[in-house]
Structure 1
Amino acid sequence: MRGSEPMRAWADIDLAAIRNNVRALRSLAPTAAFMAVVKADGYGHGMVPCAKAALDAGATWLGTATPEEALALRAAGIGPDRARVLCWLWAPGDPWREGVEAGLDLSVGGRRALDEAIGAARAVGRTARVQLKADTGLGRGGCQPADWPELVAAALAAEADGHIRITGLWSHFACADEPHHPSIAPQLALFRRMTDHAVDRGARPEVRHIANSPATLTLPEAHFDLVRPGIAMYGISPSPEIGTPEDFGLRPAMTLSAALTLVKKVPGGHGVSYGHTYVTPGETTLGLVPLGYGDGVPRHASDSGPVLVSGKRRTVAGRVAMDQFVVDLGGDEPPEGTTAVLFGPGDSGEPTAEDWARAAGTIAYEIVTRVGGRVPRVLHE
């Protein structure tokens, strides 16, 4: 039950935690601008409210993957006067024109993308804001070092013609979440060389940036002109090796809960859920939780996912199904409707997203981001 409306399941989103997390992260990079990464519906927390909370706390940039996300921010009233928006996953035929008209910063990592940005600028009669992305070792998007001089030269020519403005130079770490990984220093050095090349040829970017969440937390030498935390903004550590959220003054912003829809006694030797991977060791009670892999609960956490019910840690009993899973209540008989907490900040003994990540053999990013649209987000302070 949330307020006066009964709910089967819900995700509480603590906007005050997000604002405080942004302030804590800004304090680690006091001379750099702050980009709040709100892609993937704000890592499952709700893109627009999280973006507005981050801006309230001092962010001046927002980061998205797809143009649809970026344009949705503009449609929600977050104009260029309030936040710059960088969008980095542009495909051929995407709404480049709309992006230029909306004043988005368009990430370009190759000639095809640059040509599309130039074409869009010509079509709408407006200068496109372009950020050149360098592949310094991640091997995903971005321009290879061998092709960088050609891309820079073409971008500078387009800038001289008034079609684009080179607003940024950027890249992305491959292993910043692994302290002292041997790839970090070479990537940083290559980023400096590639950005220096562009500047030496005449580029005058507003920002140079490479620092994601782990680099913001642990690599001050990588902060440059802007940092762009993602998962850390939502109060989750990028990796246990770096530290806990508490180590950095962060607080998880999402608490995922559901109401038990059924509590029943069963005898010993009773199989539970598909495949009977769990069989009750003796007479007990089972509780039915109305969340499943259709809502983002990882099936890989079958027989291992932790849940807090009536102040006690329980474990998923049997396989997680599409819409539901079962916990063995060990003979306890909480009333139907009792709240089962899958994860949260951990203040009251509930599991955390990191606990679920360990149970499912994945990362906490995936746990929060995969919470599906059937689960309403309840915003609070």
Structure 2
Amino acid sequence: MSALSVAVELPRVSGPTLLVDLSAIAENTRTFTARTDAALMAVVKADGFGHGAVDVARTALAHGATQLGVTSIEEALALREAGLRAPALSWLNQVDADFESAVSADVDLAVPSHQHLEAILRGVAGRTRARVHLQLDVGMARDGAPPDEWAQLCRAARQAEQRGLLDVVGVMGHLGCADDPTDPSNAAGRRRFAWGLETARATGLRPRTRHLAATSATLTDPRTHHTMCRVGAGLVGIDPSRTVRLRPALTLTAPVVSVRRVRAGTPVGYGHTWTAPTATNLGLLPLGYADGLPRAASGRAEVMVRGRRASIVGLFSMDQIVVDLGEDAVPPGEPVTIFGPGDAGEPTVAEWAGWASTIEHEIVTGIGARVRRDVRTEHTSGLRSMR
């Protein structure tokens, strides 16, 4: 038999696949709406934390969320182009961003500085009335106006409002240590936000929407809820506070490309960081750090093969990893689970984050474009594929 005929007879290899389970996002959304009397903003930045912004947004809106949040104007406009008309807020933009397009698309804008306020007013040039959320730094020294600039920003926004150029519909802040409810900086952040609201009201502003809590604070501290909570990571099953069991929405699989039998003492991968202690079978999987598997997890990470855990051995490569299969006779094309919800004992995103000394957010947002996406609708019979 020729080499060509052998290759043709091998099982078909479909490639790495990321399954997105929208029923998990629906369940998580209901969990959050049950935890607060405030409105729920579904934060779908970074392509819905790697789960697909439009799918996450539609699912969350169907299960209790009433507003959408993103960082850039481009992300907000993509939601509008997909037909999503729910109120949407964009809160991280350069002063030369396309504010005119945002306002024309009925996108709310965060205002973290006087320079941003002036840029928005120049962008709309009186043609329409912008809707803005003034953003206060409550203790992260990151985004938001510093406290010593807050009163000036409120006064300038109130003057623009009186001139009919904009509506200050919200005031927002963000806590830096909400994943630890006992951290004293949370109380300091709540106090600063309360002061910011009082200062805004003293200038004549009457923001209807007041939002400080993100995922962790929504779960752990009702004092931060005000009129709206912003939840992003929690929708996709990540709870940084580790206080509630949410349902992970991703499962990453890859087929075995090839299997080889090696002797004891065989080195594997770059740098020969692992050597087979005994004779074993090694399986090659077609994904690596270019696809979002963190190289820092080398030497620690595991996968699930035929219902049992197996170690990834050697350093991760850009496009491939090697799994120690032991005595299992696994044929090419056999599916391997890299991570999933953990219901069947497979590794979870949380475990991968631990192996890489990072956070779950980085794992889920890092899966590369080469990995095919399969989206499972809330009706489990529905499945569609995307590249």
Give yes or no for TM over 0.5: yes
1:351-373 deviation digits (Å, cap 9, x = unpaired): 11010001000011111111111
CA apart distance, 1:42:
0.5
Give the TM-score taking structure 2 as reference length: 0.93
- Which residue of structure 2 lines up, in the alignment, with residue 293 of structure 1? 289
Task: Give the aligned partner of residue 357 of structure 1.
Answer: 353
- State which of 321, 343, 351 in structure 1 corresponds to 2:317: 321
Pairing 1:172–2:185 present: no
Alpha-carbon offset, residue 346 of structure 1: 0.4
Distance 1:51 1:191 in 2: 28
The offset of 1:6, in angstroms, is 5.9
Q: Please, which of 229, 232, 235 is the counterpart of residue 234 of structure 2?
A: 232
CA contact (8 A) 1:354 1:363 kept: yes
Secondary structure at 1:8's aligned position in 2?
coil
Q: Deviations over 1:64-119 (max 9, x none)?
A: 0111111100111112xxx1111111113211110110111101110110011111
What residue in structure 2 maps to residue 8 of structure 1?
15
List alignment gaps of at least 5 residues for structure 2: 1-11, 379-387
The equivalent position to 1:98 in structure 2, one of 82, 93, 101, is 101
1:153 to 152, 155, 171: 155
Where does 1:249-260 land on structure 2 (aligned, <5 Å)? Answer: 250-260=246-256
- Asked if the contact 1:109/1:132 (under 8 Å) is kept, the reply is yes
Paired residues in the alignment total 366
Instruction: Give the % identical residues.
Output: 44
Would you say 1:56 and 2:62 are equivalent positions? Answer: yes
Deviation of 1:49 after TM superposition, in Å, equals 0.8
CA RMSD of aligned residues (A): 1.2
Residue matched to 1:112? 115
Secondary structure of 2:206's aligned partner? coil
Give the partner amino acid of 1:110. Answer: S
Query: SS of the residue aligned with 1:183?
Result: helix
Q: Is the 8 A contact 2:293 2:363 kept in 1?
A: yes
Cα deviations across residues 48-71 of structure 1 (Å, max 9, x unaligned)?
A: 111111111121111101111111
1:122 aligns with 2:118: no
2:45 corresponds, among 35, 39, 56, to: 39
- Residues in 2 aligned to 1:202 and 1:376: alpha-carbon distance in whole angstroms: 52
CA–CA separation in structure 2 for the residues paired with 1:225 and 1:192: 13
1:136 partner amino acid: V
Give the corresponding residue for 2:8.
none
- State the alpha-carbon separation in 2 of the partners of residues 276 and 179 from structure 1: 44
1:312 maps to 2:308: yes
Does 2:283 correspond to 1:272?
Answer: no
SS in 2 for 1:187: helix
Q: What runs of 5+ residues in structure 1 fail to find an aligned partner?
A: none
CA distance in 1, matches of 2:280, 2:140: 51
Equivalent position of 1:77 in the other structure: 83
Distance 1:48 1:112 in 2: 31
Look up the equivalent residue of 1:91 and give its one-letter code.
Q
Question: In the alignment, which residue of structure 1 is the partner of 2:74?
Answer: 68
Deviations 1:211-264 (A, max 9, x none): 01000110111110000111111012214xx33x52xxx210011111111111
Whole-Å Cα distance in 1 between the matches of residues 317 and 231 of structure 2? 34
How much does 1:200 deviate? 2.6
Amino acid at match of 2:250: M
Counterpart of 1:25 in structure 2 is 32
Q: Which runs of 4+ in 1 moved over 6 A?
A: none
Larger radius of gyration: 2
Paired residue secondary structure (2:344): coil
Determine which of 332, 336, 344 is the counterpart of 2:332: 336
Aligned with 1:143 (options 125, 145, 153) = 145
Aligned residues of 1:121 and 1:164 also touching (Cα < 8 A): no
For 2:217, what is the secondary structure of its paired residue?
helix
Classify the secondary structure of the residue corresponding to 1:358. helix
SS of 1:329's partner is strand
How far did 1:305 drift? 1.2
Task: Determine if contact 1:306/1:355 at 8 Å carries over to the other structure.
Answer: no
